[in-house]
Amino acid sequence: MITNVLTIDVEDWYHGLVPIAKWRECEDRIVDSTRRILDIVDEAGARSTFFILGDVADLHPELVQEIAARGHEVATHGYHHELVYRLTPEAFEQDVARSLASLRAAVTAPVVAYRAPFFSIVRVTLGTRCAGIVGVALRFQRLPRAQLSLRHSQRAP
Ligand SMILES: [Zn+2]
């Protein structure tokens, strides 16, 4: 028997492309596109983990509630969708904590998984400051099943 795993990142087109200071000037498309994906996943009878940005949760807590109400797992994708290897461990900790606060304000279901934006926790940097970042990530994931999205062969630019 084959087990398939479906995960979806909930971020708008501008997250990671446009400077944060300009985000509120960008057209917001996340609600309609996420609802289309929810319909497709529901139609297939599947369940998914939705890695949601804290920024999206603050703007659309009702969308986070809908994802949970439709039977999917709510997880965090950080707050600002920044490359983890460019953050200090302290900045990373603040980003994850803020995202968790936003998600937990929207839903009561436990948030137990984190996916780094752009899969930006990379093995090549683990011996340097990223070791602290991974430590922070694992501490946040005082979780029964930690899901750190690592791409082992990727190199930080
Ligand atoms: Zn992303």
Distance 117 CA to ligand 1 centre (A): 5
Mean pLDDT of the chain: 83
- List, for residues 35-51, the tens digit of each pLDDT value: 999 999 999 999 999 99
Tens-place pLDDT, residues 85-109: 888 878 888 998 999 999 999 999 8
pLDDT at residue 107, rounded to an integer: 96
Task: Report how far ligand 1's centroid is from the alpha carbon of 105 (Å).
Answer: 21
What pLDDT is recorded for position 131? Answer: 55
116 pLDDT above the threshold of 50: yes
pLDDT tens-place string over residues 128-140:
555 556 556 655 5
Q: Ligand 1 center to residue 1 CA distance, Å?
A: 30
Q: Are 148 and 114 in contact (CB under 8 A)?
A: yes
Question: What is the 3 state secondary structure string of the chain?
Answer: CCCCCCEEEECCCCCCCCCHHHHHHCCCCHHHHHHHHHHHHHHCCCCCEEEECHHHHHHCHHHHHHHHHCCCEEEECCCCCCCHHHCCHHHHHHHHHHHHHHHHHHCCCCCCCECCHHHCCEHHHCCCCHHHHHHHHHHHCCCCCCCECCECCCCCC
- Structural domains in the chain, sorted by start: 7-140 (3.20.20.370)
Q: Which of 62-66, 77-81, 84-88 has the lowest mean pLDDT?
A: 84-88
Answer yes or no: pTM beyond 0.85.
no
Q: How far is the CA of 69 from the centre of ligand 1 (A)?
A: 22
Q: Report residue 27's pLDDT band, with 50, 70 and 90 as the boundaries.
A: very high
Q: How far is the CA of 51 from the centre of ligand 1 (A)?
A: 8
